[in-house]
Structure 1
Amino acid sequence: MLSFIYYKVLFLMLIPSFLLIYLLITKQNKIENYFSKKALKKLSISNQYLSTKKRNLLLFLSLIFMIIALARPVSNEETKEIESNLIPIIIAIDVSKSMKANDLYPNRVDFAKRKLLNILEISNNNTIGVILFAKTSFLLSPLTQDFNSLKILLNNLDTTINFDNGTNIYSVIETSQKLLKDYSNKNLILLTDGGDNEDFGKEIKFAKQNSIKIYTIALATKEGSVIQEENGNYLTDKKGNIVNLKLNEKIKDLSLKTDGGYIEYSLNNSDINQIINDINNKSKEGKLEKKEYKTYTELFYYPLFIAVVLLLFAFSSLPNLKNLKLSIFIIFVSFNFLKTDLLAFSIFDFKTIEEANKAYETGNFKKASKEFDKLDTNEFRDYNLANSLYKNNNFEEAIKLYENIKTTSSDLEFKRLHNLGNSYAQINDLNNALKKYEEALKLKNDSKTKDNLELIKSILEKKEDNQNNKSQSNQKEEKQTNPQKNNNIKKEESESKQSEMIQDTQEEKWLKEIENQKTNSLLKKMESSSEDSIINPW
């Protein structure tokens, strides 16, 4: 049965189209107001080609078929159901001040981040969302299976940010409910030291009402730890006493009374393995999520083909009847014989681009280079290929490609020059790197490019100072005539070599910093109906 997915297009566009064609057909030429039809026929030169009215009619019919194609006609429409085997998990990391304690290396919050990255490694049948929380909850990522992007977000997460004080777990459970509202299996994993709450009755009640299972990985020691602040002083309470922040074992009740689980941290993955296995086993016992989707046969290309053919006739100078059949036959034969090859080329071309982009995103830069190399050369293909070569440490080949790119796009030209500067820096051609960064800044005032330029300038200045110091020491050595001349020369040479080695090490360090500059992850604040009443400043 034929149906239209976007049937409203027919009503919204066909009525104005009919009105337009009516006006075109009924409109008379100004000269017809002064001469009769017989007189005009005698005065006009016979035209074997399409008349204006016939041409307008063809254009109108072409428009009608285009509108039908836009309405997306389909047939054999069916609704099917699939069972989803993916188990949703929300993972919440406590980023309150108490998580800066260093009883876990290097501190509790960085330890929690490593635990989360390990969870991503072992989660095969899960879809995962991430929340950060202190007094307020912040959404880092909604539920996703794109763990590669999630890892990038986590690696770029700046854990030194000063979040608001407090540990509002009720806000976390509320946010989790919003993210899990369309799922029957609801699981929340808390990576926390427990905060300082003595009673979790309100949190337990809300979790039970919404069927949320809460698991806790306790990230603190029972002995506790003090927190050294940025000014060098230790964190104190209101009375001025140094605070020793220990594990709050009361949070165990929250997990056990919501049919979840509680476990203290381990230095290996045994803690997260036990929790993930328990979540997967309990989820298998329940009902799997069912999702509906529709299948149908697309028919839009038939009216679209007819519309294109009519347009060709309307805009060409074909005679009325003569050669009309021949023209239709040529178009039909061309479409049937050429369509397959053209579509195949287009599909394979897009497939190559997709494979190249996928390889680049997953870090397989060698494969990405091969896939981009298969494409026809143009400024964007060459830029992407050069990026892949750069990531694969083929800096000299990348430089050749970057240098040969010609573009009228100022944005692409800026990126090309910036990456050229990075490439020259990698092969230690600092003068060219400096030149490219300066050219890039003429196009765009970019902070990263400025930072790179300053780093390169400082390295070159240090090199120049070292050379000046070396030449001065050599002049002093020539003037010396004491018996220890040879020993002093050797000593100066060794010190110079050590200085050069130090400078080379510093240079490598700066270049790595240029390459590995991070962009902080975006956090979205989530509203909560319950505010944490802060008693202590952590």
Structure 2
Amino acid sequence: MKFINPSWLWLLLLIPGLYIALVFHEKRRQKKFEQFAKIPLWSTIVPDFTAGAGLAKGRLFLIALAFTIFALARPQWGTHEETAHVTGLDIMVVLDLSNSMEVEDVSPNRLKKAKHLVRSLAERLRGDRIGLIAFAGSSFIASPLTNDLEYISSTLEILGSQSITSQGTDTAGALEAARRGLERGAEDTAPVPDGKTFPSRVILLITDGEDQEGGATEQAAELNKSDIKLYIIGVGTQKGGPIPMRDADGNLHGYKKDRKGEPVISTFKPDQLTALAAAGGGKYWNATQDEQEIEEMLTDLNALNRTEYTERRYLVHEDRFQFPLAIAVILLFLELAVATSRKPAKLLLVLFIFGSFLPTQPASAESAVPLDSYFENRKGLEAFNDGKIEEAKKHFGAAQAIDPTRPELEFNQGVIRLQEGDVDSAVRSFDQAARLSQSNPQVSGQALYNLGGALSKKGDVPNAIRSYLGAISKAHQAKDFQLGEDARKNLELLIQQQQQKKKQEQQQKDEQDKKEQQEKQKKEKEKEDQKSKENEQKKEKDQKEPKQFEEPKESRKRQFRSPKLSPEDAERVMAELKNREKELHKRLKKQQGTSSGVQKDW
């Protein structure tokens, strides 16, 4: 047996106190009545009076009150199976983080306006999953598809142009990354039953339109062929503006310049974005101050097919509050038959009416578990506690096959795989468990904590640090202070190890550089010694051989002597050679061509 509203049970502590007060009141009333008449005369004076009727009435009232409180606590026992149908959209937001998004031609700047648009969209979604791709010269998945809007909001806060070192604007690469993210999100869901289809998939690109890499239109056409809608919101003005350069504290220290020293003016290209949206089978909007484009986009999204793409069977606990409530009603009628005053009964009837109209809450995740999966998981836990790893693995696998989207089952698989030494599989399991349990910070925090440990063993320190930070955040939400403290300690230890590793690598690099410098100096010295030796040998050889007459250098420069050519002929030959040399230089210049343009990094 379990209770949905157990806090009501605290009222049961009042029942003994009320009963004591009732007994005290009845005894005091009888004593006052004895002062008026002796007990043997009561039946003569008041024929309808029954001694102890008031106490009996009070007992029935208090028992009825106790059963009413019990009913308000919503007891549950017994179970039945229910089938839930899952529908929705998958939306991947592609956010431009290039330097040109820092331009302040819209208030406060292009990037902050784009972030506000994403938040406005996420707040209006109902039941749909949303993911986030950040891009500039390269792209990465900032958030996989999720229903956790808090995670999306916190991820947006930390994103900026400094989040990507490779600057530029590779829109085609970002669209391809979004497509892969949508496909991966589809693979993470439960298998699609026969006759069902995946929900509509949408990519929302938010950018200023400066695509410097090319290929975006072709990629948009490929998305359209894959039944992925491409919507675009352009942020900026056609006038554009210079790109501000700020330090880590946000202080302005100038504007970006190209390699020629000229200020870079980032322009907004809505025509290109309109053509890109058309190629992707979607629509294009300009970002406005009142954000009316979000409402128009939601109207389009609501028209898309939120397909029912899976069914899930759940074990639901039965509500049994009707039984204590019925007992309370029967006791009320009995109390009315005995009591002389109906005011207490009326009070209880009001309480009964209030309780009968309480909204029935849906079963929580803990109370809705597939039956077969529950028993298999239970067997797996018992085997794991007994040290029977293979048997536990078998039962956990059977439970997960029944309910593949339950995060606790994926978490258990990760523990088993880590126990077996399969770190890569453990990383995948913990990552999957963390993403499936976004709405359950307790499970999500434990999954991220174990994911950090597995990534540390794998040597992926940056992602391990990111996982521990996520575990600390989830522990704070779940108020699990022990988990948060453990994650913080591991994070500090990991950072210290990383710093020590970098220090050792720097020392090794310095030693290697020093060794290479010494070897270089040694080779140069050997080369100089060899050259000196050759010069000495040459000098000795020249001393042994008889010297021949050499024409003075000054004479060779000024005259051209030949036994067959006259001085006039020699001058004509030299002039012809100079002309040919000039022609050769001209042809070489033509072959080299003009130099390439300045590479853009905004």
The structure with more radius of gyration: 2
- Fold in common (TM above 0.5): no
Q: Normalising TM by the smaller chain, what interval?
A: 0.3 to 0.5
Q: TM-score, normalised by structure 1?
A: 0.41
Taking CA–CA contacts closer than 8 Å with sequence separation of 6 or more, which of the two structures ends up with the larger relative contact order? Answer: 1
